[in-house]
Structure 1
Amino acid sequence: MKRLAIAAGFLCATAAGAQTPELTVYTYDSFVSDFGPGPKIEKAFEAQCGCDLNLVGAGDGAALLARLRLEGARSKADVVLGLDTSLIDPARGSGLFAESGVDAEYALPVEWDDPVFVPYDWGLFAFVHNTDLKAPANFRDLAESDLKIVIQDPRSSTPGLGLLLWIKTAYGDAAPEIWAKLADNILTVTKGWSESYGLFLNGEADMVLSYTTSPAYHRIAEDDDSKTAAVFDEGHYAQIEVAAKLASSDQPELAEQFLQFMLSDAAQAAIMTGNWMYPAVLPEGGLPEGFGTPLPAEQVLLLPSDEAAALRDLALDEWLTALSR
């Protein structure tokens, strides 16, 4: 009887576990960290979905797409969160993603009507530095200075790729010249954003490639006004981060529910003070105090996803050539 009771209890527990669906989301490492928005989003979504949200840190955006391409239809992911406009075209061409079923009124620097990729935040790339540093006014000034910068690898990191597109958009055919002059300023190139920002915070570099919103973290979370972002007169390249549902997902309805949830007030608030980016859908309470307002539209640079894809290889070759000298 004791064995039967144990067996019955095991079967009940197994059945209860089987009734709890699991949604697996591939995202970038900083999203799932203790200081990122992942833990709050996981708790809030699980409270309404009756499911287990499994957030998997899998590198920065470019690395995410590379992993999904490698895994193909065998991937355990139901959703990917962390691609951006520079990766949308190749992501669409992979055939791995399905229409989201999501509709929203976005607060983005561009019109958005993509049926597959759901934007959840956006920001402007910038070099962050300490306020006691006299910052350059543009890339030419930076290249002529003795300042040391840390950047991210464009082959694995969306900010790294964003920097390539920023310089290419601002300088066109003169981009190779800019990179050639910047090469001496680059202290190191890291695989992802977290590593490079850590190097900056440890005092190993004067400036780090990040976002205009990054100093808001220090002001709000740490009560520290010692960090700011350099405003360049060429303008700043925008990043719109997106999430998408995998066509191979065995939880398509739950995946759609999660994508819609990412645009809710709760998720967008967690994004602002966890990802430290502007919201894709402005929450009822607006931006947090101390967050700062976006730069004016005339200072925002952004290529359509197909043009970004067309320029990617050329810009990457120019970067590799400059750094190999």
Structure 2
Amino acid sequence: MKHLMIAAGILSATSAMAADTPQLTVYTYDSFVSDWGPGPKVEEAFEAQCDCDLNLVGVEDGAALLSRVRLEGANSDADVVLGLDTNLIAAAKETGLFAPSSVRAEYDLPIEWADDVFVPYDWGYFAFVHNADAPAPASFRDLADSEAKIIIQDPRSSTPGLGLLLWVKAAYGDDAPEIWAGLADNIVTVTKGWSEAYGLFLDGEADMVLSYTTSPAYHLIAEEDDSKAAAAFDEGHYMQVEVAAKLAGTDQPELSDQFLRFMVSDTFQQIIPTTNWMYPAVIPSTGLPDGFDALITPEKSLLFSADEAASVRDEALTEWLGALSQ
């Protein structure tokens, strides 16, 4: 009987401790929480200093992330959303669901950062990745004229997919429909998110996949494989800056702010290059890993401001859908 009473007491104490441990729920994209993504290391590092439980919830991709938060509204379980980008900032702010942040940092971004709601944590350039021993197009026109089969992501659910639309629009303006008409028969499939698209490419389902100039670094560093490359396009490459923000309805505002501050810390930023395979928003004390110096550097950077991206998004989407429906 004594043993039963002692056991019951231990269980009761353990339950009480668990109940007293605050939980921070962060919505992010699937690849972030994967075994090979930043999630496991981020969770371990943050929990070591927060005395909390970090609950990372994966959603297909960045654009789908915003759709889920919109759907849940003020009743969302999320405290922080990590994985939107500058192309979605204006739409995210329109929801009224996000709260201002006091986080400031010495960012190593190609652009000035002054947003008072969203905190950047990494950035990169979109690119088409291919097998290094295969010929690569040097522009969208070259790609459209080639026999290359490509896989892209849906701009309605994926931030790379939306980035591609804005890349074509930024490079070609009113001629964007012509470019899409030329590319339509190169497209093998359109996936909901990046992970599925890249997996299909690695399985040999296409010659090229929409990804990032930094993607070959994964193969080079993690696999010691130099067989993948990113095609350099003459018209330039569109940038992506990924961001996070806390929700106004969070019941953990202080813990949310702590996580956002952690996100721009040396500890977090050291994790990013070799797990999320992007450039860190703040160069860590260790610098960039060997292998990043072998990546292509676009000669021209393209990027719409958050407001510009919002204003051209619907037109660009209509042009894309029109070309693919022919």
2:94 partner letter: G
Question: 3-state SS of the aligned residue for 1:57?
Answer: strand
* Shift, 1:15, TM fit: 1.6
* Shift, 1:10, TM fit: 3.7
Whether the aligned pair in 1 keeps the contact of 2:168 and 2:176 (CA below 8 Å) is yes
Residue 205 (structure 2) aligns with? 204
* Shift, 1:161, TM fit: 0.1
Distance 1:175 1:299 in 2: 18
Deviations 1:82-127 (A, max 9, x none): 0000000000111001112201010111000111100000000000
CA RMSD of aligned residues (A): 1.4
Distance 1:220 1:10 in 2: 46
Whether the aligned pair in 2 keeps the contact of 1:26 and 1:81 (CA below 8 Å) is yes
Question: 3-state SS of the aligned residue for 2:188?
Answer: strand
Distance 1:303 1:295 in 2: 22
* Shift, 1:275, TM fit: 0.4
Distance 1:287 1:5 in 2: 53
2:317 partner letter: L
Whether the aligned pair in 1 keeps the contact of 2:123 and 2:278 (CA below 8 Å) is yes
Residue 46 (structure 2) aligns with? 45
**How many residue pairs align between the two structures?**
325
Whether the aligned pair in 1 keeps the contact of 2:232 and 2:296 (CA below 8 Å) is no
Whether the aligned pair in 1 keeps the contact of 2:120 and 2:242 (CA below 8 Å) is yes
- Structure 1 residues 293, 122: closer, same or farther in 2, change over 3 A? farther
* Shift, 1:285, TM fit: 1.5
Distance 2:294 2:115 in 1: 26
Structure 1 stretch displaced more, 285-294 or 251-260: 285-294
Report percent identity of matched pairs: 71
Whether the aligned pair in 2 keeps the contact of 1:213 and 1:292 (CA below 8 Å) is no
Question: 3-state SS of the aligned residue for 1:272?
Answer: coil
Residue 286 (structure 2) aligns with? 285
2:86 is the alignment partner of 1:80: no
Distance 1:295 1:270 in 2: 22
Distance 1:180 1:321 in 2: 8
Whether the aligned pair in 2 keeps the contact of 1:25 and 1:77 (CA below 8 Å) is yes
Deviations 1:108-152 (A, max 9, x none): 110001111000000000000011111001000000000000000
1:67 partner letter: R
Whether the aligned pair in 1 keeps the contact of 2:25 and 2:78 (CA below 8 Å) is yes
Mapping for residues 257-276 of structure 1, pairs under 5 Å: 257-276=258-277
Distance 2:284 2:82 in 1: 20
Residue 56 (structure 2) aligns with? 55
Distance 1:166 1:290 in 2: 26
Gaps of 5+ in 1: none
Deviations 1:190-240 (A, max 9, x none): 000001101110111000000000000000000000000000000000000
Distance 2:216 2:321 in 1: 30
Deviations 1:253-303 (A, max 9, x none): 111111111111121111110000001001011110111277667511001
Residue 30 (structure 2) aligns with? 29
Runs (4+) off by over 6 Å: none
Whether the aligned pair in 1 keeps the contact of 2:32 and 2:38 (CA below 8 Å) is yes
Distance 1:284 1:9 in 2: 44
* Shift, 1:70, TM fit: 0.4
* Shift, 1:11, TM fit: 3.1
Structure 1 stretch displaced more, 286-295 or 206-215: 286-295
* Shift, 1:7, TM fit: 4.8
What is the TM-score normalised by the length of structure 1? 0.97
Question: 3-state SS of the aligned residue for 1:27?
Answer: strand
Distance 1:179 1:304 in 2: 23
Mapping for residues 1-325 of structure 1, pairs under 5 Å: 5=6, 7-292=8-293, 299-325=300-326
* Shift, 1:18, TM fit: 1.6
Gaps of 5+ in 2: none
Question: 3-state SS of the aligned residue for 1:292?
Answer: helix
Question: 3-state SS of the aligned residue for 1:172?
Answer: helix
Distance 1:142 1:200 in 2: 17
- Structure 1 residues 192, 23: closer, same or farther in 2, change over 3 A? same
2:79 partner letter: D
Question: 3-state SS of the aligned residue for 1:133?
Answer: coil
